């Protein structure tokens, strides 16, 4: 199916232009290429090329998938728990029912950095150095 044919199909089926359809599916609904391809009955490769030609970046479907797996509000719960300095990755892993390593991967997906680096910074910020106490 060509881009023009796909545009016509989307216009007839959904009543919107192809660009708006793609933008909504990717940016608002966070659907992956294969999910959009399934809706349109085309190959995922075609959706990837179309998305690229339209200047639309890939979807970040992680938050949506995390909540599908662990329930509504699970990501917010993760964020609230991790802010508590007394909660460890092991505690989070136990709460959600996955491994400590997976908790670390979730942290990296959510915050874009390693938990150990962020945790060290948080601990350093909470402790006063001897030079700071004298001022």
pLDDT score for 61: 81
CA distance 95 to 81: 10
Name the percent of the chain lying above pLDDT 70.
Answer: 93
pLDDT score for 113: 84
Q: What is the pTM of this model?
A: 0.63
Q: Considering only residues 32 and 117, tell me which one the structure prediction assigns the higher pLDDT.
A: 32
Closest by CA position to 9, among listed 31, 36, 32, 27? 36
pLDDT score for 132: 54
pLDDT score for 130: 53
pLDDT value at 84 more than 70: yes
Give 131's pLDDT tier (boundaries 50, 70, 90): low
Q: Which two tokens stand for residue 96?
A: 């959600």
Contacts of 35 (CB under 8 A, 6+ apart): 25
CA distance 38 to 44: 8
Q: What mean pLDDT is predicted for residues 3-31?
A: 92
Q: What mean pLDDT is predicted for residues 26-37?
A: 90
Tens-digit pLDDT profile for residues 89-100 = 899 999 999 999
Mean model confidence pLDDT for the chain: 87
């Amino acid at each position: 199916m060509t881009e023009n044919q796909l545009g016509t199909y989307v216009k007839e089926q959904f009543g919107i232009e192809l660009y708006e359809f793609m933008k909504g599916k990717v940016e608002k609904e966070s659907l992956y290429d294969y999910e959009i391809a399934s809706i349109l009955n085309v190959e995922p490769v075609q959706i990837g090329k179309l998305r690229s030609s339209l200047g639309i970046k890939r979807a970040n479907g992680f938050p949506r998938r995390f909540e599908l797996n662990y329930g509504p509000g699970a990501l917010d719960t993760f964020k609230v728990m991790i802010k508590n300095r007394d909660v460890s990755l092991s505690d989070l892993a136990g709460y959600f029912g996955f491994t400590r390593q997976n908790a670390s991967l979730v942290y990296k997906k959510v915050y874009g950095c390693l938990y150990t680096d962020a945790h060290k910074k948080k601990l350093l910020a909470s402790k006063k150095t001897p030079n700071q106490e004298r001022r």
